[in-house]
Structure 1
Amino acid sequence: MKIYPVTAILLIILLGACATPQDTTELNEQVDYYKDQALQADSIRTEYRNLEEEKRLVEVELNQMMNELERLRATNISLNRSYQEVLSKFNEQINQNQEVVATTSYENLTLQQQLAQKQTMLDERERKLAQTEYELRDKQRTLSMMEYNYTEAKGVLGQKDARIEELESALAAQKLRLDNLKQSIDQALTGFSSDELTVTQKNGKLYLSMSQNLLFTSGSEDIDWRGKQALMQVAEALKNNTDFQVMVEGHTDTDGTASRNWDLSVLRATSIVKELTKYGVEPERITAAGRGFYAPVAPNNTQQGKALNRRSEIVLTPKLDDLYQIIQN
């Protein structure tokens, strides 16, 4: 029976679900539930193996008892035959005339003693035979109960393995969609340098990071013509991949006040959202967020670090409807 890497699957689910805080909380609850289901599957799997071993031992013992029962039956038949022979011989001598009986009283006594011994042995064998048959029936009842538990555990384990396999297939399909989208965006943005934008895939999401120099002039939220060209090409790729949610995040360096940087990051994110929707991306798929200077990717104590922090990121997250459905079933 195939066993799947449950821990790896759960980790991928947990890292892959970041659309909103509410979605994250719900998915974490579902992941905890699924982790508990996986632990139950491991427990059932262990019980299943124990039941198999116990069943094997009971079957061995049952076979031994069956052999003993057959041996006792054979011995009982032999004793009964011997008893009948002695009884027949005794009755034969009793039927002889009185004179012969009188002269053979010693032989009669010996035969009677042998007959009594045979009867005692026969009674003991019959008692043992009855006890063995009782124990055999008890063992058969135990074996039937174990076979029932064995079948039930095997069925539960099969159901859990099927759900794990289904979840793994859904994750593989999601990973393939993410790879295809990255390839599509990479091809669409081949005319731009790595200093202007980068596309990275991590934690089950796709991150498109665009520098300020590509999109905006310093302190402005108005997108220039090269930025619009880049966003138009991104929008074309997004329109063909409707099963991804879009989060647009604005980021700044630490120059200026925190309040001004908050406002500027929000305005820039909103400008990008408007541009994407103008090129055909559904508004209900997009969320705009301003992060100010609170999510830097480099230290703000150098000009190079500040330039890296002045960026806009488009975060693409696969929809988790299929994974939710698998977990909740």
Structure 2
Amino acid sequence: MIKKIVGVIIVGTLFSSCVTSKVYKELESKYANLKRENRRMEDDLAALEKASEADKKALEQLDAQYQKALSERDELQRKYEASVANYENLKNSYDALEKNSSAAIAANSKRNRELLGQLEDKERALAQERTRLDNLQRDLDARSQRIDELEGLIAAKDAKMRALKGAISKALRNFEGKGLTVEERNGKVYISMENKLLFQSGSWAVGSQGRSAVKQLGTVLGENQDIAVLIEGHTDDDPYTGNTQLSGNWDLSTKRATAIVNILLENSAIDPQNLTAAGRGEFAPVASNDTNEGKSKNRRIEVILTPKLDEITKLLNDI
């Protein structure tokens, strides 16, 4: 789908044709789908973290059940041992009475048989309890192992995103103070580039300095194939009055996002399937449009890097 969207926008740019209402609506619809997909990925990550917490609680409950079962087993064991001691006492009494009374011998014999029957019942109950405990222990071990693996994967993803943020910050160090920031939030890396670094006013052609920054970013992305990359174009709320090929700020922001995608794709190490371009117009400001400084901050490209969660999702399905 991303290839189709990029293809449509590139063809539109090459032939410099006017953007019709139909095309605009199609772009708007495709952007909405991309936005829902991005939100779905955020929801998936939140759901995965919630599921991890739920599994931890389930593990604690299973452990409590296991401890209770151990206590019950110990109680059965004590009762069993008491019955054995009682049996031994009765057996001794039987031996003594055997010399004195055949009637007493018959009574003791009956009692002994009853005690033996009780002992056999307790032995069977203990055997069943041991089997239940063994099964419970195996289930606890398996769940604990899967939770450990899940926590390890989540920690590895977080560590990878921190390392990625560090690598990008290092690669783009020369552009600090020129309208470029790099930060990590909620397990994602956000690279914000103000338009003064990338574009002339009303243009979607990337300048030499901006091209250099994007290509250096592409070098880092080419070394991280398991990262989803969303490129968002943003504008201030001033109405667009430039090239008649564009219908407004939303169209301009889309073309600017696509221009960044095209530069990234010059790096053959980057998988096009990892890239998504979206235009958001003036509808996601980061500052007030009431001042020139605020407008400058709102005119930007945001590159949002998200880890792919296929391994974590598979492990959760196995729990």
Q: Structures share a fold, TM > 0.5?
A: yes
* 1:254 maps to which of 206, 229, 237: 237
- Residue pair 1:252, 1:311 contacting (<8 A) in 2 also: yes
* 2:92 maps to which of 66, 74, 77: 74
Give the greater-gyration-radius structure (CA): 1
Match of 2:206 in 1: 223
* 1:210 maps to which of 193, 206, 213: 193
Q: Secondary structure at the match of 1:299?
A: coil
Q: Deviation per CA, 1:170-204, whole angstroms, max 9, x where unpaired? A: 22222232222222211111111245111111111
Query: TM-score, structure 2 length as denominator?
Result: 0.78
Shift of 1:244: 1.1
Match of 1:112 in 2: none
The one-letter amino acid paired with 1:279 is N
Unaligned runs of 5+ in 2: 1-35, 241-246
Shift of 1:161: 0.8
- Tell me, in whole angstroms, the C-alpha distance in 2 between the residues paired with 1:275 and 1:47: 59
Match of 1:263 in 2: 251
| CA RMSD across the alignment | 2.5
Match of 2:144 in 1: 161
* 1:312 maps to which of 279, 284, 301: 301
What does 1:96-175 align with in structure 2 at a 5 Å threshold? 118-175=101-158
Give % identity. Answer: 33
- Aligned residue pairs, count: 276
Shift of 1:150: 0.6
Match of 2:69 in 1: 51
Q: Secondary structure at the match of 2:232?
A: strand
The one-letter amino acid paired with 1:275 is I
- Residue pair 2:52, 2:150 contacting (<8 A) in 1 also: no
- Tell me, in whole angstroms, the C-alpha distance in 2 between the residues paired with 1:194 and 1:119: 108
Q: Deviation per CA, 1:99-121, whole angstroms, max 9, x where unpaired? A: xxxxxxxxxxxxxxxxxxx4444
The one-letter amino acid paired with 1:278 is E
Q: Is 2:286 the counterpart of 1:297?
A: yes
- Tell me, in whole angstroms, the C-alpha distance in 1 between the residues paired with 2:303 and 2:48: 27
Shift of 1:26: 6.3
Q: Is 2:276 the counterpart of 1:287?
A: yes
Shift of 1:125: 2.6
Shift of 1:327: 2.0
Query: TM-score, structure 1 length as denominator?
Result: 0.76
Shift of 1:279: 3.4
Distance 1:19 1:162, change over 3 A: farther
- Tell me, in whole angstroms, the C-alpha distance in 2 between the residues paired with 1:29 and 1:192: 36
- Tell me, in whole angstroms, the C-alpha distance in 2 between the residues paired with 1:228 and 1:279: 12
Match of 1:92 in 2: none
Q: Secondary structure at the match of 2:238?
A: coil
Q: Is 2:252 the counterpart of 1:274?
A: no
Shift of 1:49: 1.8
What does 1:20-99 align with in structure 2 at a 5 Å threshold? 20-21=38-39, 23=41, 40-81=58-99, 83=100
> Which stretch shifts more, 306-315 or 122-131?
122-131
Unaligned runs of 5+ in 1: 1-17, 84-117
- Tell me, in whole angstroms, the C-alpha distance in 2 between the residues paired with 1:308 and 1:147: 68
Q: Deviation per CA, 1:247-290, whole angstroms, max 9, x where unpaired? A: 10111222227x72211211111111111112333322210011
Q: Secondary structure at the match of 1:278?
A: coil
- Tell me, in whole angstroms, the C-alpha distance in 2 between the residues paired with 1:261 and 1:197: 21
The one-letter amino acid paired with 2:255 is L
